[in-house]
Amino acid sequence: MTLATLENVLQPALKDGYAVAGLVTLGWEDMRAYVEAAEGLGVPVILQAGPSCRAHTPLPVLGAMFRHLAEAASVPVVAHLDHGYTREECTTALDCGFTSIMFDGSREPLERNIELTAEIAKIAHAAGASCEGEVGFVGYAEGEASTGTDPREAARFAAETGVDAMAISVGNVHLQQDASDGLDEARIAEIEAVTDVPLVIHGGSGVPRQQRQNLARNTSICKFNIGTELRMAFGKSLRGVMMANPDAFDRVEILKQTHLPLVEAAQDVLRSIRGEETEL
């Protein structure tokens, strides 16, 4: 069994200069493909259940699926709750076997965010799990605007919450379909100068690939969350299958044909954030 916590996989990444992928899952088809992709490259992977995933599939089912995959995997697999907004949601995830939770208090004032996140981190640690928090606010493409992370607030947040990883807002945006002009590296440097916790980039699909590698290799950014990029790859594959077989109706047979393209897309993502000079 290679079920791991966030701390288990991020501390080696911080020490050795690479990043780990937090891959946003929506169902069995993608989470299975992501683990196979990680095994093929011999790298750890973080399976993430975000709000849209949880709206479709109950937490107990997701926890069981994540743990089932981890038990048979040859690489470390983290069962991670992404964007948990309430104490109840986070504790339910822990009860369902998740090994890591991201509590998102980023819409709250700083003092309240610190208070709530510290409480959840304490609960997670007591359960043998890890906790990620967010300071600043990472916005959404065509939605809520971002509020950049203040380095002074980041220093307080890291010191007072006890989180194992800290998500920051440095030009990254959720649900971005195309690569942006890149992240604010000066702000990243200011944040890592006053903290020693592994840093996390949400909205990693919008970060140019060369910058992903450079940041993984040379900064405290140890986790890139990738969702949109892989959802687009799955959608493209599924459309291709249906266009080639317009009379197809058996869901299992249809989805089988999307598996290899999704494994390949996930491996491409995993390579893009390792921070290595050559492919794995």
Catalytic residues: 82
| Sign, Cα dihedral of 244, 246, 251, 253 | negative
Residue 25 and residue 230 in contact, taking contact as beta carbons nearer than 8 Å? no
- Alpha helices by DSSP H, listed for the chain, are 6-16, 28-41, 51-56, 59-72, 87-95, 110-126, 151-161, 185-193, 209-218, 228-244, 251-272
Q: How far apart are CA 156 and CA 172, in angstroms?
A: 21
Q: How far apart are CA 167 and CA 199, in angstroms?
A: 6
Residue 77 and residue 45 in contact, taking contact as beta carbons nearer than 8 Å? yes
CA 271 from chain centre, in angstroms, equals 15
Q: How far apart are CA 161 and CA 164, in angstroms?
A: 9
8-state DSSP, 203: S
Q: What are phi and psi of 25, to 5 degrees?
A: -100, 155
The angle at the Cα of 25, spanning 264 to 16, to the nearest 5 degrees, equals 70
H or E segment to which residue 79 belongs:
strand 77-84
